[in-house]
Homo-oligomer: A and B are copies of this chain.
Amino acid sequence: MNVQEAIQSFHALQSKLSAYHHAMSLIYYDGATTAPKGTAPNRAHALAILSEETYKMSTSQETVSMLEFLDAHKDELTPNDARAVYLALKDIKEMKKIPMDEYIAYEELLVEADDVWHKAKEESNFELFCPVLERIFETTIRHAGYCAPDKHPYNYCLDKYEGGLTMEKCDEFFAALKSKIIPLIKKISQREQVSDECIKGDFDEPSQEKFSYELMKAMGIDLDHCGLGTTEHPFTTSIGSHHDVRITTNYERSNLSYSMFSVIHEGGHALYDMNSADELAYTFLDGGVSMGIHESQSRFYENLLGRSREFINYIFPKVQECFPQLEGYTAEDMYRAVNLVTPSLIRTEADEVTYCLHVMIRYELEKRVVGGELAVKDLPAEWNRLYKEYLGVDVPDDKHGVLQDSHWSGGGIGYFPSYALGSAYGAHLLHKMKETVDVEKCLSEGNFAPINEWNREHIWKFGCAKEPDVLLCEALGEEFDPAYYTEYLEKKYSEIYGL
């Protein structure tokens, strides 16, 4: 084997695996959006086989030898090829630690769990979900034992979504947020509440869907390569490469802002995924590098841009066009309505200020379950207790409590902190972007091109070509500092609430 041949085999392997990922992502997407509801076992059958094939192909002796050979010759490779080899070897080493039958069984479990979670949420019945969730936590802990026997299993979970993240770092980060956010919430609660009347009412689904496309167009999302679906829980997925991305939303008839900010949030993920450099398509470097960076983009668009006065001023005429019932309200009414700060039950509907508390509750609970200090069956009671303690709200039922998110049913244990990290990354990135881009002017004019261009050049185009901390540090030109985020929140909400 010479380096040239090995590189060709490696490119062929990446291309082949991308076809399997195309198939598997589409089967998941279809299951969440379109598939008839009795078809989960049929999907599980196909996914079990396709993931077995993927596993075999990725971990075969032939593959490992090729990768090790290439790794030994990394100086002769392009930087992208060398990075892809490094990531592949890292993944394979981890995958090989998990016995193949367990790997496949876990894929099947997740299909089942998705189905059971939907039913359980619909019926607000945690008992239905509990046995499946127990198996998910057990499997996660077992995988942590195989892959990182020296680590606390929850550190293994955190590292999966944000390379290098640990409980220590999280604790420190959350403490920094808490020290600023809790006093801010307290001050806000003493002021007169702003009105969110204008975004409440009856907003029919076809009009909301039409508005969703207006938002996607305004954000500069290429609709020829990005679809919009409806699911219980909004998400974004790539189908095989960055040339086909799908976002989903969920329409709430009584609240205009729910789907509006879901679409902008998922649209941020989509922009990131869709704008990998073209040469990264069908390679391991295609798409976003970590969940923290991913959420930095989604929450950047959702909040820093989407909930800004300038953007609301720009979009308000389109809002009125889609929803004539808003006649009589002003853009300023809407700006205040979408920035109302109030402790609430649902994370995805939470305002910017209280949002991180929702994340911290999930972080606390996951940490304790994975650490063996809390039983899965006790999650609802603990969830409800922490919501009372952190946010002062009473959880009426599990549908509006522990069953609200799809992450756990999808195996995403350790994912939640990315939302808070991403939010804070985003504020620092915005600060940096403003050195060269007149963001307010762009938003006022609905001209996202310069903003998207900055993100493309500093974040998106690299795909997974850099480690997340390196990518972030280079984009920022300095070390990440969460103070930009808390300062942003204090400044914005002091103005709105007259603190």
Contacts and interface: CB of A to CB of B under 8 A. Distances in A.
A224 B46 contact: no
Given A33-B34, A36-B246, 7 more contacts: A16-B53, A18-B45, A23-B46, A26-B27, A38-B224, A39-B225, A43-B240
A224 to B, nearest CB: 3
This chain: how many copies in the complex? Answer: 2
A46 B229 CA distance: 22
Contacts of A24: 23
A282 interface: yes
B36 A226 contact: yes
B224 A45 contact: no
A37 interface: yes
Interface in A258-275: none
Contacts of A23: 23-24, 26-27, 46, 50
Interface of A: 15-16, 18-20, 22-24, 26-27, 30, 33-39, 41-43, 45-50, 53, 206, 222-227, 229, 239-241, 243-244, 246, 282
Contacts of A53: 16, 53
A229 B229 CA distance: 13
Contacts of A42: 22, 239-241, 243-244
Contacts of A282: 45
Contacts of A18: 45-46
A244 B30 CA distance: 12
A219 to B, nearest CB: 15
Contacts of A22: 27, 42-43, 45-46
A282 B45 CA distance: 9
Given A42-B244, A282-B45, A227 B36 contact: yes
Contacts of A227: 34-36
List the 7 closest A-B pairs by CB distance, nearest first: A38-B224, A23-B23, A19-B49, A22-B46, A39-B244, A19-B46, A42-B243
Given A19-B46, A23-B27, A26-B23, A37 B224 contact: yes
